[in-house]
Amino acid sequence: MGRSRIEDKAYTEPHSIVEVASKTLSSYPHLVSVTAVHDEKEKSIELIYTFSDFRGALKNISTRIPEDKKTLPSIASVAPAASIYEQEVSELFGVAFDGNPFTGKRVLLPDCFPNDVHPLLRNVKQEDLEKVVAGCMLGEPQIYVTGSSRYSAESVILLPFGPYHPALKEPERFILVLEGETIVDVIPKIGHVHRGIEKIAEGRTFLQDLFLVERICGICSFIHSWTFTLAVEELLNVKPSKKAEYLRTMIAELERIHSHVLWIGLLGYWTGFESMFMWIWRLREKIMSLLDLLTGNRVHKSFIAFGGVRRDVTDEKLNTVAKTIAEFEKDYKKLIDEIMSYEPLVERIKGIGMYNAEHAIRLGAVGPMIRATGIPYDIRKVEPYGAYDEIDFNVVTGKGGDVFNVTMVRIKEVLESINIIRQCIEKMPRNENPVPKTLVIGVVKEGEAVARTEAPRGELFYYVKAANSRNPHRVKIRTPTLANILLAADMLKGYTLSDVPVIITSIDPCFSCMDRALVVDKNHNSVFFVDFNKLRKENKRIR
């Protein structure tokens, strides 16, 4: 039911993890996440590998490694999706994964962060981290990206792509390896907006964390707080009232519309069709006003509470929602008809960034990205939470992965969401109180729980561990963008530079160019970043 308490972990020895993982993959082909939990008392780190099939069954495999010998084999050879999850663990906990393709690179933490500080270890104290932050500014960060001679320097150009662009969100940088105009490899560097939320969450109470996790993302904000709530409710053993479930579902669907419509607008921006961007964003304001009406906020709704929602919604407001949604639907259909009959746009996105289902599964893709290939993997359907089990809706799928299909999936999902909202209003029990008596929850008994939901961008995963305390012992968040990033990087290969914006936006991230120049040293076949100021000072090519 979208959430579960972890009780049946399969334990295994660290050295046999690859074998076990590969066996598990045959019946649970989707690697959801790799969660690390530091246990100070036992002086060990527990690694939980969560697998899932496409029908909603989860399998947790756990292994423990001692604090002083933090190495184990990487499972990236059998599950390529693991590479980025393992890398995250390795930077934050200092665990070395033998055979991980990212080994030796910095993907998540800032370049100036000291190599021997692993912030998520429980014994790393806040004061120490504050010192690190203060020290970080002093030095001139200079990092080598790779010293390998994988690419013959004569023929390739390395282009840093990102992390900034005006109309976009999460900054992410991709380093593109170009041969002529064709992309041959892509190295992602994420973490520009890495704010250490998982660590901050450990230092605050459950209630404070509810507002913190909401602020992970301004676009899928409600779904973050909902997923966290699902996990905590599981630990507390409380169930919200029916009306609360319906209200939550309704807000989540409004959010999905706002997110998808925002993205469709940005697609216009990226393909050079700026009027489309303006039209669509104008239409989107209708949805924003509804969110404002229902929750009092446009972006961070702060609507959910453990065991319910924070405020009731009157029938009058529900009627307004029904009316506005109908208007929105009419305008939306008309607008989409117009846009999709504009051939230059369709031609621009058809057959760009092709991938197939098998590929998407191997790289761990989720959400519209995997559904575009025809796999009906939607957590709302396979593991219903909220009121989804009482609602009749279709899972939208496409006919094979490319930007066009991903776009069509999102376009149709908006209509499906409108349908869900309508049913929510119809079926919602009217005379119940969805607001719990108290919002504060105090001490939470020991236990671990996971929760999964379908965020606008795909499957969102939370792991929450409580240890008889007011604060969570560990909160692990696996966001859909992290799951999709490997696929995005892979989709680029073989296409030309001019396709990059369209392909990268198809999963939802952002870029533009600045900060440092990347220099290829011809004589040494090595690649490194040069600080922009240094480049300017020296005013010559660096050899």
Partner 1 sequence: MADGQRSEHESFDRRLVRKSPWIFHFNSGGCNGCDIEFVAALTPLYDVERLGAKLVASPKHADVLVVTGPVTLQVAKSLKLIYDQMPEPKYVVAIGTCACSGGIFSGGYTVLGGVEKVIPVTICVPGCPPNPKEIFRALEAIYKGEIKVAGGGCGEEQNRG
Give the binding range for partner 1 (CB under 8 A) out of 225-233, 319-327, 374-382, 506-514. 506-514
| CB 235, min distance to ligand SF4, A | 26
Please check whether residue 156 is in contact with residue 180, taking contact to mean a CB–CB distance below 8 angstroms: no
Site for ligand SF4 in 248-307 (CB under 6 A): 299
- Report how far residue 37's alpha carbon sits from residue 59's, in angstroms, rounded to the nearest whole number: 17
Does 333 interact with partner 1 (rule: CB under 8 A)?
A: no
Residues 142, 148, 154, 160: what is their CA dihedral angle, to the nearest 10 degrees?
-40
Please check whether residue 197 is in contact with residue 213, taking contact to mean a CB–CB distance below 8 angstroms: yes
DSSP helix/strand/coil, 411: helix
- Give strand ranges (E) for 99-246: 156-161, 173-179, 182-189
Does 215 interact with ligand SF4 (rule: CB under 6 A)?
A: yes
Show the 3-state SS of 237-265: CCCCCHHHHHHHHHHHHHHHHHHHHHHHH
Please check whether residue 189 is in contact with residue 110, taking contact to mean a CB–CB distance below 8 angstroms: no
231 or 261: CB nearest partner 1: 261
Q: Which residue is nearest to ligand SF4 (CB)?
A: 215
Site for ligand SF4 in 506-525 (CB under 6 A): none
122 or 169: CB nearest partner 1: 169
Please check whether residue 252 is in contact with residue 386, taking contact to mean a CB–CB distance below 8 angstroms: yes
Output the CA angle 467-248-305, nearest 5 degrees.
Answer: 40
10 or 193: CB nearest partner 1: 193
168 or 304: CB nearest partner 1: 168
Does 310 interact with ligand SF4 (rule: CB under 6 A)?
A: no
Site for partner 1 in 282-321 (CB under 8 A): 282, 284-285, 288, 298-300
20 or 477: CB nearest partner 1: 477
Report the residue from 226, 228, 273, 281 that binds partner 1 according to the rule CB under 8 A. 281
Q: Which two tokens stand for residue 145?
A: 């990206």
Does 112 interact with partner 1 (rule: CB under 8 A)?
A: yes
DSSP string spanning 44-64? Answer: EEEEEEEEE-TTS-EEEEEEE
Q: Which two tokens stand for residue 46?
A: 């527990």
Interface mask toward partner 1 for 213-232; x: CB under 8 A: --xxxxx-x-----------
Output the CA angle 464-246-390, nearest 5 degrees.
Answer: 95
| CB 196, min distance to ligand SF4, A | 14
Report the residue from 114, 196, 218, 376 that binds ligand SF4 according to the rule CB under 6 A. 218
Site for partner 1 in 41-60 (CB under 8 A): none
Does 169 interact with partner 1 (rule: CB under 8 A)?
A: yes
- Report how far residue 178's alpha carbon sits from residue 161's, in angstroms, rounded to the nearest whole number: 12
| CB 204, min distance to partner 1, A | 9
CB atoms within 10 A of CB 392: 9
136 or 519: CB nearest partner 1: 136
Report the residue from 25, 29, 56, 129 that binds partner 1 according to the rule CB under 8 A. 129
Residues 495, 219, 408, 372: what is their CA dihedral angle, to the nearest 10 degrees?
70
Contact positions toward partner 1, by CB under 8 A? 109-113, 119, 126, 129-130, 132-133, 136-137, 141, 163-171, 191-197, 199-200, 203, 211-212, 215-219, 221, 262, 277-278, 281-282, 284-285, 288, 298-300, 510, 512, 514-515, 532-533
Contact positions toward ligand SF4, by CB under 6 A? 215, 218, 299
